A and B are shown apart, each in its own frame.
Chain A
Amino acid sequence: MRRKTFDRREAREAYLLLLPFGIFFALFVLYPIVRSILDSFTDYSLSSRAFTGLRNYVRLFTNDKAFLLSIRNTLLYAAGSIVPLMLLGLTAALLVNRKSAGMYLARAALMTPYVTSLVAVSLVWLFLYDPTSGAFNKVLAILGLPRQQFLYDRTQALWCLVVMNVWKNLGYVMILYLAALQSVPQALLEAAQLDGAGYFARLRRITLPHLRPISYLLFTTLTVECFKTFEPVRVMTSGGPVNATTTITYQIYLRAFSEFKLGYASAMSVVVLLIVLAVTLLNLKLGHQLDGEDGV
């Protein structure tokens, strides 16, 4: 075993300088995670806290229809969002990958939803989707298409949130792809062009393989982002109609802050934690395989 030596004075000073961050981090990040896990095995409410073993988890998966629905909804929301987000984001990045004042403006326009608060965005889309006064039904009328109930329709509501999510995060996907596009070796593209490769051939053979690592990363961050979805549900639908749009985080919020079943809500939090960890580890694994293939 290799032994490292440290300058004791430097080490002491380092710890001292780490203290401000360390205190906040331990108190507001680490402690809550540990506490969440511990509380998930109790019937913790604001008045009592008794150890109940795995009872919360058993109830979650066998006796809580709303929670199971929320898992289903969250998965559908993530699955429905990620593919169009990555495709449209990549398309947008390819379209704005040029240097000009117009492109700078276009990028700003496409990124604006990403920097706007989810609450503001949700309220604007609440108006757009409104069956009577909303803009979407009026646009449908112009096109001669039938009116829709959007958020009031059990089968449509979740997909309405998905569409909004794609709109909101498109700019984020675009800038990451744009950065990756700008690192594609230009010489390679030019050489291919001289050899007579058309735009789409160059895209498929050179550009897309180059974008693989960033695509894995995007998949992870977008999945985590989708699993966090709370604001649109709270602001637009309150999880309805009839739990059609309830998400895991919305269930956590309801159980914890309107019913004060903190132990039970903690068990839900742990489920989210495990899912996020699984996705992150999957990404790391895929990333490593990729590193191996490309010999990076």
Chain B
Amino acid sequence: MKKLLARVPGTLLLLLLVAVMIFPYWMMVSVSLQTNAEIYAPTLKLFPSVPQWSNYAAAMQNGSWGRYILNSLYTTTVATGVSLFINALTGYVFARMRFPFQRTLLVLVLVGMMIPTQVTLVPLFVLVRSLPLLGGNNLLGQGGTGLVDTYAGLMLPYLAGSFGVFMTRQFYVMFPRELDEAAKLDGCSRFGAFVRVYLPLSGSILASLAVLKFIGAWNEYTWPLVMTNTGSGRITTVQLALTMFRNEGEIFWNLLMAATVVSTSVVLAVFLTLQKHFVAGVLAGSIKE
């Protein structure tokens, strides 16, 4: 009983903290279901009097949201899948094979992990714009727009990702050496051993990495913004589409919040179902050797 009582202040404090943290979400959902009159009323409305579900239909008709969502799903999924495989393979090579300059190359990868993408934004844009023989470019990469405003341009920079290499390497280093011996005896090449022995045992780490990458790519704004700077809106992603509500003269808060609810629900669904993996991933990426 005494122990239970001792917990009361902590629990109250926690409830208060949770309430404060949840408040913006509460308002987001509530406003998405309110009428303009309710939003502009001088008093705070925590609940809509009558939920205006039609706000969602109206918001989705502001632009072509079906397309935006498909664009985001497509680029996010492909980038996540491809980079996952490449990262795991590279992590395996660093963990399990011996070759000259191994240490140097690994340090290089770690340095790459620390560099914020904002630093490389400009040259990355110039590079993607001037890839030779693409998007109307000649052999010297001039004349056209390269991969700017294309899906490939949107996805390419995500395909490397040092973080995943670092994480999978840490993971594979702990595997028993006998695994390689056994695979070798069975006549597997190193790549064969990776695909047939290591990959099937990587479920947990790949799940963590996949959740992190999916959420990261889905939420990305700066690179897609730059990629569509001069574009047609063909590859507009969900995050870009959200800001279009802001660019119009008057902001319809209820429609904007409805679109925000839709765009965040994908990520929240992934996070809430795979919370354990997400947390494991964040921790694995942050804790030093």
In Å, the complex CA distance between A176 and B280 comes to 10
**Which of B90, B108, B162, B260 is close to A124, meaning CB atoms less than 8 Å apart?**
B260
B233 to chain A, nearest CB (A): 17
Q: Does A235 count as interface, using CB distance less than 8 angstroms?
A: yes
Given contacts A29-B120, A127-B253, A175-B282, 14 further A-B contacts (CB under 8 A): A6-B99, A13-B189, A36-B123, A39-B122, A96-B14, A107-B275, A113-B24, A115-B278, A127-B31, A214-B287, A231-B222, A234-B225, A252-B122, A273-B115
Q: Cβ of B221: which chain A residues have Cβ within 8 Å of it?
A: 117-119, 230-231
Asked whether A117 and B121 contact (CB < 8 A) given A11-B99, A123-B242, A124-B28, the answer is no
User: Chain B nearest CB: distance from A95 CB in Å?
Assistant: 4
Q: Is residue B257 within 8 Å, beta carbon to beta carbon, of the partner chain?
A: yes
* Contact status B89-A128, CB under 8 Å: no
Within 246-282 of A, Cβ neighbours of B (below 8 Å) are at: 249, 252-253, 256-257, 262, 265-266, 269-270, 272-273, 276-277, 280
Residues of chain A from 1 to 47 with CB closer than 8 A to chain B in the complex: 4, 6-7, 10-11, 13-15, 17-18, 20-21, 24-25, 27-33, 35-36, 39
Cβ–Cβ contact A128 & B24, under 8 A? yes
> Taking chain A's interface residues, is the majority helix, strand, or loop, or is none over half, making it mixed?
helix
Q: Is the CB of A287 within 8 A of B288?
A: yes
Q: Are B288 and A117 in contact (CB under 8 A)?
A: no
Whether A221 contacts B127 in the complex (CB less than 8 A), given A7-B98, A115-B215, A273-B119, comes out as no
Instruction: Known contacts A20-B89, A36-B122; decide if A117 and B264 are in contact (CB<8 Å).
Output: yes
Indicate whether B272 reaches chain A with its CB closer than 8 angstroms: yes
- Please tell me if the beta carbons of A29 and B162 are within 8 angstroms of each other in the complex: yes
Report A-chain residues with C-beta under 8 Å of the C-beta of B157. Answer: 28
Q: Are B24 and A125 in contact (CB under 8 A)?
A: yes
Shortest C-beta distance, A25 to chain B (Å), equals 4
Pair B242/A14 contact, Cβ less than 8 Å = no
Q: In the complex, what residue of chain B is closest to A178 when comparing beta carbons?
A: B279
Number of interface residues of A (CB under 8 A): 93
| Bound form: Cα–Cα A276–B24 in Å | 31
Are A106 and B14 interface neighbours, CB within 8 A?
yes
Which residues on the A side are within 8 Å of B40 (C-beta)? 132-133
Listed residue (A18, A111, A224) with the most chain B CB atoms within 10 angstroms of its CB:
A18
Query: Does B122 lie within 8 Å of A167, measured CB to CB?
Result: no
A253 to B121 Cα, complex, angstroms: 8
Q: Chain A contacts of B267 at CB under 8 A? A: 115-117
A117 touches B263 (CB 8 A): yes
Binding site for B on A (CB under 8 A): 4, 6-7, 10-11, 13-15, 17-18, 20-21, 24-25, 27-33, 35-36, 39, 88, 91-92, 94-96, 104, 106-113, 115-121, 123-128, 130, 132-133, 135, 138-139, 141-142, 167, 170, 172, 175-176, 179, 213-214, 217, 221, 224, 227-228, 230-231, 234-235, 249, 252-253, 256-257, 262, 265-266, 269-270, 272-273, 276-277, 280, 287
| Sample of 27 A–B contacts (CB below 8 Å) | A10-B98, A10-B99, A13-B189, A17-B89, A28-B160, A29-B115, A32-B127, A39-B122, A111-B279, A112-B268, A116-B264, A123-B246, A124-B27, A125-B24, A128-B24, A132-B40, A135-B23, A141-B42, A167-B24, A176-B286, A217-B288, A227-B116, A231-B221, A256-B125, A269-B121, A276-B116, A287-B288
Measured between alpha carbons, how far is A252 from B162 in the docked complex, in Å? Answer: 24
Q: Measured between alpha carbons, how far is A81 from B39 in the docked complex, in Å?
A: 30
B188 adjacent to chain A (CB < 8 Å): no
Q: Given A21-B90, A25-B160, does the pair A35, B123 have CB atoms closer than 8 Å?
A: yes
CB pair B24–A265 under 8 Å, yes or no, is no
Q: Is A133 in contact with B127, judged by CB distance below 8 angstroms?
A: no
